[in-house]
A and B are shown apart, each in its own frame.
Chain A
């Protein structure tokens, strides 16, 4: 007879593991990736490929030669960072831009903290924000690259709606005037947005991914729902106060990175709180900061900054928000 295995209970394990969870997130991102390839063609494929390859390579090199630890690139976490970074860049970004972004994301934001599970800030967002402050011109160049599938896509125009609003307001226009001048419609916002990062192009694709993640129980709906509700609520208040100066809730939720950020970036396991109470505070924080940057900040979009700022509060949220314990304390 073979030697018996003896171990403490439990003797069975769920089929989930780190790899399968990361794979599920990738699957959830696939509608978005497909839509972006449809609209941006070769450049989207190029960005995503360079992002994935460079992130995985950077992690491999660091683990193999710098840290001399076990190489863990096959858990898909680096690849996921690469995809997310690519989805957060303008479609016309040159390949070396995402390469630099990957080095910062994996090398600085992830590995210096000790690798997977140890980092405080979302690596993809650190990479993006690094690029945004280092190469502001490239990072706000929303020109449309040549597409394989269609020529001269009418829906996808130059600057992002948020940038147009910001510029318009600065030049003294009111919101309805800006809207009229650029002919924004809700339908456009839902399906094909008017320019923006690779992954922001379609709200519907993002929501499909969200539903998939919920069905597979990869994430809880708490964070995305709180963020979206907060953004909607605050912008409603501002919109009602002065519709000439402030954009409305629908516009704020559907444009920019709110959906991509709340579904895929803010829910990153490592950098989000670990209990419901903390998640709600975190989501509200992200919502408020995003809207405030949009309304009053210098940048047209504030999702990345909002998530990074709230990432920093996560250790505190974990420490001071506790899940509901079973049963009262007996004194």
Chain B
């Protein structure tokens, strides 16, 4: 009996020793020498592996940051300035400050604003839908509402509102990684500065059709009338192909264009309520963007 026990223990002991030696040798053979700073930088990074920086993941970003002579254009949008300054400190370099950005959906073709003229019955994906045809409304530039952006977002920051049919961005959660921008086949989503107190002014439309066609398809479409461009004191607005665009580097958030826009395609979000006009301004409540259901007659 005791010999069995001894034999068993001996056998297992020898086997264990043998395997540990093999493991050690293998580990030695395949060991990769790596700059210890890479690991250090990686530990500072948020570790979302979202690819928002344009690299294959956080490890690749850390590697490139360490290898590059200066941080330069490398920027982790998820970590933002705080993380970047930490990385810069760790590497003994100057941090590059960047304005925090957030995704903005440039279409408000909700069910109320834009009539659905047919019913899509394939796999629920904007990519499949846009490959097949122009879309389920008369506007072929607008949001398809199947939620590829929602699927692409790792931060739970963008959602299709089932009542409205277009996505909404949760600015607090959005890290501006750009995954939604890349996933949108219609190119509706844009990264714009978060703005002071999340205040933004932007053209919420991508329709480049002629005004009459746009108007027929959607009541909040940009008809390219150019009134906003005329009224803008900073020359921030350009109208090309019947579509206005506000350059956020020039815009000072004065909201003159917003007041001028006849179709309310220009949006001003998170501004305080302006007293004289408060009764007719449905979407100036703070925090979250509100639907524009009321301005059908506006």
Chain A in direct contact with chain B (Cβ < 8 angstroms): yes
| A-to-B contact residues, CB < 8 Å | 3-8
Additional pairs, 8, CB under 8 Å, beyond known A3-B117, A4-B119, A7-B132: A5-B120, A6-B118, A6-B121, A6-B133, A6-B136, A7-B121, A8-B122, A8-B132
Contact of B120 with A7 in the complex, beta carbons under 8 Å:
yes
B123 nearest CB across to chain A (Å): 8
Point out which of A3, A5, A6, A7 has the most chain B C-beta atoms below 10 A from its C-beta: A6
A232 nearest CB across to chain B (Å): 43
A329 nearest CB across to chain B (Å): 27
Contact of A4 with B118 in the complex, beta carbons under 8 Å:
yes
Closest 10 CB pairs of A and B: A7-B121, A7-B122, A4-B118, A8-B122, A5-B121, A3-B119, A6-B118, A5-B119, A8-B132, A3-B118
A7–B128 Cα gap in the complex (Å)?
Answer: 9
A5–B119 Cα gap in the complex (Å)?
Answer: 5
A residues less than 8 Å from B132 (CB atoms): 6-8
| B-to-A contact residues, CB < 8 Å | 116-123, 128, 132-133, 136
B170 nearest CB across to chain A (Å): 25
B residues less than 8 Å from A8 (CB atoms): 122-123, 128, 132
A residues less than 8 Å from B128 (CB atoms): 8
B residues less than 8 Å from A6 (CB atoms): 118-122, 132-133, 136
A3–B138 Cα gap in the complex (Å)?
Answer: 13
B residues less than 8 Å from A5 (CB atoms): 118-121
A residues less than 8 Å from B136 (CB atoms): 6
The residue in chain B whose Cβ has the minimal distance to the Cβ of A2 is B119
A9 nearest CB across to chain B (Å): 9
A251 nearest CB across to chain B (Å): 42
A3–B121 Cα gap in the complex (Å)?
Answer: 12
A248–B119 Cα gap in the complex (Å)?
Answer: 64
A5–B116 Cα gap in the complex (Å)?
Answer: 11
The residue in chain A whose Cβ has the minimal distance to the Cβ of B120 is A6
The residue in chain B whose Cβ has the minimal distance to the Cβ of A4 is B118
Point out which of A4, A5, A7 has the most chain B C-beta atoms below 10 A from its C-beta: A7
A4–B117 Cα gap in the complex (Å)?
Answer: 8
Q: What are 15 A-B contacts with C-beta separation under 8 Å?
A: A3-B116, A4-B117, A4-B118, A5-B118, A5-B119, A5-B120, A6-B119, A6-B120, A6-B121, A6-B132, A7-B121, A7-B122, A7-B132, A8-B122, A8-B132
